[in-house]
Amino acid sequence: MDAREAFVALNLIEHVGPVRVRQLLDCFGDAPAVLGASKRQLLQVQGIGEDTADAIAGWEKTIDLGAELKRIEAFGCRAVIQSDEEYPALLRQIYDPPIVLYVKGALSPKDKNAVAMVGSRQTTHYGLESARKLAYQLAYLGVRRCEKIEFREKSQSQVVDLQGSTISLDAVLPIFSHLLTVVSGGARGIDTAAHQGALAAKGRTVVVLGTGINIVFPFPVTRPFPAVKSRNSSRFRLPRPFRHRDALAGSLHSG
C-alpha cells in the first residue's frame, strides 16, 4: 500500500479528520504506518480515544479500499493528497485542509488567480442573468487582487461584496487586469450561472462539490455539467459530503 491509498483509507474511517491525521502523522511518520499501528500504539497519541483507536486498528473490517479505488477510477477522477504539487497551495494553509481531494479535469497554474463566486439556489431570472454577466466579465478580464465574492440581489442595483465592502459592478471593473479562474459550488441558481458565465467567456472554472464522487447535489443541477466537462474546467469532489466544500472554495481564491 502506498501513501496515496493509505490516505484514501484514512479519509473513509469514522472519527478521523484532518486534524487527527496530522497528529497521527507526527507520531508515526506516514499514512501506511498509521494504518499498521496497533490499538495500544494509537492510544498513546494525544487526542486519540478508544473509539478512534478501534476504528483505525480495525479499518480493514469496515473499509473496502479496493472498491473505493475502483470507484475513483470509474468516475474518471484521481486522488490528490497534500504532498502532491497540484494540491492547492492556499488550501494547505487552512487549519484543517482535506486529507484527500478527488479531482476530475486539469489543474492549471493560472488557477492561483481565482475568485470564488457563490449565491442563492432560489433566485430570479434577473439574478441568474446578472450572475452570468458578472462571471463572464471576471473570467474574461480578471482581477488584480480579489477576495471571496458573494453575489446578492438588490432591488435597484447589482452589487458584489469585495473584501467586506459593498460596491457597484461599475466600480469593480476598472481594477480588472488579467485572466482569472471562477470558482463556485456547482449548485443550481447563482453557482450554476457563475460556471456558465465563465465558460461562455472561454475562461476557466472550478466546480467544488461537497458530495461524494457519484452524487451531484442538489439533484436538479444537471445542465451545467456537460459544459463543465471541457478542457477549461476542473472539478474537486470531497469524499466526505459538504465537510469542506465552503473552505475549499474560499481557499482557492487569491487574496
pLDDT value of residue 177: 42
pLDDT value of residue 146: 41
- Per-residue pLDDT at 80 exceeds 70: yes
pLDDT value of residue 159: 45
Cell of 60: 480493514
| 58-72 average pLDDT score | 93
> Of 74, 89, 122, which one is at a domain's C-terminal end?
74
pLDDT value of residue 148: 43
**135-183, pLDDT tens digit by residue?**
888 887 654 344 444 444 444 444 444 444 454 555 554 444 445 788 8
Residue predicted with more confidence, 48 or 237: 48
CATH number at residue 24: 1.10.150.20
The single-letter DSSP state of residue 174 is G
- Per-residue pLDDT at 248 exceeds 50: yes
Domain check: are 69 and 124 in the same one?
A: no
Domain check: are 20 and 140 in the same one?
A: no
Q: 133 Cβ partners below 8 Å, 6+ apart?
A: 197
pLDDT value of residue 60: 95
CATH number at residue 173: 3.40.50.450
Domain check: are 119 and 245 in the same one?
A: yes
Residue 64's closest CA among 9, 104, 140? 9
**84-94, pLDDT tens digit by residue?**
988 888 788 88
Mean pLDDT across the chain: 76
Least confident of 22-31, 148-157, 166-175, 242-251: 148-157
Domain check: are 130 and 231 in the same one?
A: yes
What does residue 7 show for φ and ψ, rounded to 5 degrees?
Answer: -70, -35
Task: Provide the domain limits for residue 195.
Answer: 109-251
Tally the domains of the chain: 2
Residue predicted with more confidence, 104 or 111: 104
85 is a domain residue: no
| 127-137 average pLDDT score | 87
Sheet holding 233-237, edge to edge: 78-81, 100-105, 233-237, 205-209, 181-184, 114-118, 149-152, 159-162, 165-168
- Ramachandran region of residue 242, left (φ > 0), alpha (ψ -120 to 50) or beta? left
In angstroms, the CA 179 to CA 57 distance is: 48
Answer for the pair 59, 36: CB distance below 8 angstroms, yes or no. Answer: no
> Of 55, 74, 93, which one is at a domain's C-terminal end?
74
pLDDT value of residue 163: 47
**202-241, pLDDT tens digit by residue?**
888 888 877 666 665 554 444 445 445 444 545 555 555 4
- Per-residue pLDDT at 18 exceeds 80: yes
pLDDT value of residue 241: 47
pLDDT value of residue 209: 78
- Per-residue pLDDT at 13 exceeds 90: yes
